[in-house]
Amino acid sequence: MDSAPFILKVHNPTGHPELDQLGTALESVSTVEGISWEESYEILISTCGKLGLMPHDRRSVEAMIEGCGYFHQHSSFAGKTVEEFIKWCDGKFHDGEKLIVNIANNAITRHFAPIVPVESGGKVRYTLVYPRNVMSYGIFEVWIAWKDKADHSEKEYRKRQITSSKKVNDTQENEALHVFNENPNDNLIGDCAVRAVAGVLEISWEEAVRRLVRAQDYKVTLINTEKNINALLEKEGFQKFGPIRRDGVILTGKGFCDIIHDMFQAGTRILAYVGNNHAVAILVFDGDYKIVDTWDSTNRRITGYWAKYPKRTKHDRPVREEAPAIPPKDDSIKSLSEGMRIVHKAFGKGVVVSLKNGIASVEFPGKGVRKMAESWVIANCKVAD
């Protein structure tokens, strides 16, 4: 060969060559598309938002690869090592095709790797570009992007359907639980951190994924760890608290919701940890704090929580008589009334359906009814056109 069959290159921000399945997929897309790790991650986030699946879910990863124009091959390459497969590519492709392969050195752990054409000595040879040498690993799956962007697979390409994650949710609401699923496809999966963040920050599920990814500057592939959630909440201005005990016993979800009613002003937003590995949003509904979740955790202990107080309304300083008053913007809200049409930067246009005890219930088409402190709505929303 005139060119080396293996080139070491690292895109990920940590610079560490040991990556998990998602990390190797991001490395592969960065290499074959000629973009940064952050740009690859943003493609994955958009894919997750459409599917309602977590970034580390294999289905999200494969959908990202196929969304970049790569066609999954139905023929089997089992038994070939990466080195043998590269030799096969040298004899098979001549127009600059790019490939992403699924590889493994055992039956359990599988990673993704890019194989690209590299010109050297006037010839084009196929080369593995990867953080470490895996030439002896076996090939399991192959995705190909042809130079003309058409599909030239030997067998007709059939885009694989994403298996639904929908399940029947028979959880019943109670005085301390509001059953609601922030997931865009109503999937019941391990996305409690994303749903909780979406609830307390009043943002979409996809935007919650994005902020969790950015919490540590794109350096993590598992975004739903407590360390990563805490990093985001600290950036967003939340304050951390330990568990609340009564008579030496940590309060359960129901007891927690009952007692914090007198501890925090209306509109305070809380993300709480239930047990060791579950996160929930706790918000105000009709003046009472309730857990917002897809299953009933009101009888489980709240082991810690983060709270963010509502913004206080700023009072204007007295204006001297000779100084002209600055007129407010036409779309600013001075006070709320039932039936008023407002607009929120994340949820879009909505209608105020009720006002009670300083809490505004706002219906956003397609997103349900949100209950928020009147002062927060006035400060953060505008009058809709």
One domain, residues 193 and 278? yes
One domain, residues 13 and 121? yes
One domain, residues 304 and 369? no
Cα dist. 255→174, 177, 193, 289 in Å?
Answer: 13, 12, 22, 11
Other residues' Cβ atoms within 10 Å of the Cβ of residue 197: 28
Other residues' Cβ atoms within 10 Å of the Cβ of residue 107: 8
One domain, residues 127 and 235? no
Residue type, 86: I
| Tens digit of pLDDT at every position of the chain (385 positions) | 344 677 878 899 988 888 899 999 999 999 999 999 999 999 999 999 999 999 999 999 999 999 999 999 876 787 799 999 999 999 888 888 999 999 988 766 789 999 999 887 778 889 999 888 889 999 989 999 999 999 988 876 566 666 556 677 788 999 999 999 999 999 999 999 999 999 999 999 999 999 999 999 999 999 999 999 999 999 999 999 999 999 999 999 999 999 987 788 778 999 999 998 899 999 988 788 999 999 999 999 999 999 998 875 454 444 444 444 444 456 788 888 999 999 876 678 899 999 887 778 888 887 778 777 787 788 778 888 7
> What CATH number does residue 249 fall under?
3.90.70
One domain, residues 44 and 129? yes
For residues 308 and 86, give the distance between their C-alpha atoms in angstroms, rounded to a whole number: 54
One domain, residues 234 and 364? no
One domain, residues 139 and 15? yes
Other residues' Cβ atoms within 10 Å of the Cβ of residue 184: 16
Classify residue 332: in a domain, yes or no: no
- Domain containing 371 equals 341-383
Residue type, 37: W
- Count up the domains in the chain and report the number: 3
Cβ-contact 250, 244 below 8 angstroms:
yes
In DSSP notation, 167-230 reads ----PPPBTTEEE----TT---SS-HHHHHHHHHHT--HHHHHHHHHHTTTT--S-TTSHHHHH
pTM for this model (two decimals)? 0.78
Classify residue 262: in a domain, yes or no: yes
The domain boundary, picked from 308, 324, 355, lies at 308
Quote the Cα angle for 302-214-291, to 5°: 25
For the CA atoms of 239, 217, 189, 52, the dihedral, rounded to the nearest 10 degrees, stands at 120
